Structures are given as C-alpha cells and as structure tokens.
Amino acid sequence: MENKEKIYYERGTEELRTKNIRAHKLVQEFNNCPVEDSKRKEEIIKELFGSVGANPSIEHNFHCDLGYNIHVGDHFYAGYNCTILDMAEVRIGDNCMIGPNVGLYTAGHSIEPKDRNKSGYAIPIKIGNDVWIGGSCVILPGITVGDNSIIAAGSVVTKNVPTNSIVAGNPAKILKNI
C-alpha cells in the first residue's frame, strides 16, 4: 500500500473559513431537503463533492468539512449520520455501502498540547470498489481499504485493509479472507 503525504493546514484562516461555510451551507440544504426530493438531493451532492458517479444515495444528517475533497463512484450509499472529515482527499469506489453512524476522518492534530487547536494535518483515505462498511465504524487518516472488503459494525480501522478481507474490532483485525 502506498505511503500517503500529510497535508498541513492552519485553522481559522479566512480561506479555510470561506470553504468551510460553502460546504456547511450545502450540507444544511441537503439535510433539510424534503425526503422525497431525491433529484434535488443528488444535485446538491454533485455541487458539494469533487466528483460523483451514477446513482448516489445519502441519508439525512450527513456532514463534511469541505466537500470538494470527496470523490465517490457509481452506486454509492451512505446511511444516516455519516461524517466525512475531508481536509484531505477521500476516494470511494463503485458499489460501496456505508452503514449508519460511520466516520471517515482524514484530519488529525499534533500530540504536543501547545497550539494543538490552531493547526492540523490530514492524510487521504481510499476505499476500493464493492466495499461494505458496517454501522458505527471509524476509518482513521491514511487508511486504504481494498476492493470487496467488509468492515464489521463498530470497528475502528487503524491499519490498511487488504483486498477481499473481513475485518472487525477495535483496532480492526482480519477475521477472514473472502
């Protein structure tokens, strides 16, 4: 699996604030959209995300930092309360399903307490094709999840997940190969 670069950012800059407000306005509109208005919901996601494949479906109470760093393939599904902290790029392949209450977190902060709240770093996340992420999972910065893999509900993914694997636990460990 490839080594991923840390992207450093300063919190509180006007540029970051402007980008964050843009995303939050679109997220607010998305989350307040009438349930039956799937056309408008898809339009908002296409405006918010960096790229979107065919037939995206995201349940309400979705949240993200910037939006434009999120790239999803065809037939993407995210359950209720999905949070994607996209200070770095998040790439999700085709036919992926994300259960409810899942967090994908590219962002992190220094372990040194001085000025920890003023800056941060982010490392990209990549999720392959045909991946199923169960409810209440957490995917940490820099993780790559291989094609066809399953992440069992409640797992905390701290290491890359090989293709055709089922992982579970905190920290997530390989249970079996598919």
pLDDT per residue over 10-40, tens digit each? 888 999 999 999 999 999 999 999 999 999 9
Q: Kindly state the average pLDDT of the residues 117-130.
A: 95
Confidence of residue 152 (pLDDT cuts 50, 70, 90): very high
Determine which one of 24, 63, 75, 109 is catalytic.
109
Q: What is the pLDDT of residue 1?
A: 41
Tell me the C-alpha distance between 45 and 78, whole Å: 12
Confidence of residue 111 (pLDDT cuts 50, 70, 90): confident
Active site residue 75: no
The overall average pLDDT reported for the chain is: 95
Query: Percent of the chain scored above 70 by pLDDT?
Result: 98
Is the pLDDT at 3 greater than 60? The verdict is no
What domains can you pick out in the chain, each with its CATH number? 7-177 (2.160.10.10)
